[in-house]
Amino acid sequence: MTTYADLRHRPRLDEAVAGYERMQARIRAALDDELGPFDWHRVRGATGSTGGHDVPAEFGTRTLALAPWGFAAPIPDPGWERARRIVHGIAREHGFTTPAVDVDRPGHHLTGALDPVLGASCTLGSQRTTIMQVVTGSHLPTGA
């Protein structure tokens, strides 16, 4: 269970989101440089919710699924291992040190990593289309 003192040491939600958006931009740029270019677009808007399962509701925390980025094609099978290494390498620099889901089948790929300290997740999936999604862990809102 996360304590309120733990939450006070985390970045506020807007700060965490800004860092994750920079991480997503770096991942997109690296994938473009090495395997693309790709026609990236925001798939939909961000969605927020109250804090996660490890934080009491009375703490007033929020989580946010950042707007996912994607493009209307798969990453070709021969490039998937390179894409996976790019995602994990850049995500690791942002605290995503725990490997998560990993699917590697012809025409169906999914990889991800978790931030065990802040509770965030980062995933990249590729099948008919390609989608990158980052979900924050629980953070106090700005001003809390």
Structure tokens at 16: 């965490």
- Where in the sequence is the domain holding 131, given as residue range(s)? 4-135
| Section 28-38 average pLDDT | 97
- Residue 1 pLDDT: 66
| Section 73-90 average pLDDT | 97
Average pLDDT taken over every residue of the chain: 92
Check residues 140 and 2 and name the one with the higher pLDDT: 140
Question: Total domain count for the chain?
Answer: 1
| 140 inside domain | no
| Section 105-123 average pLDDT | 95
| 106 inside domain | yes
The CA-based angle 106-67-81, given to 5 degrees, is 25
End-to-end CA distance of the chain: 20
| 67 inside domain | yes
| 142 inside domain | no
Structure tokens at 116: 């065990």
Q: What is the pLDDT of residues 37-81, one digit of tens each?
A: 999 999 999 998 887 777 777 788 888 999 999 999 999 999 999
21 CB neighbour count, 10 Å cutoff: 15
The model's confidence at residue 33, banded by pLDDT at 50, 70 and 90, is very high
- % of residues, the chain, pLDDT over 90: 71
| 141 inside domain | no
- Residue 130 pLDDT: 98
- 10 Å CB burial of residue 72 (0-12, 13-18, 19+) is exposed
Structure tokens at 23: 């991480």
| 77 inside domain | yes
What CATH number is associated with residue 58? 3.30.2030.20
- Residue 144 pLDDT: 62
| 144 inside domain | no
Q: Is 130 within 8 Å of 14 (Cβ atoms)?
A: no
**What's the pTM?**
0.92
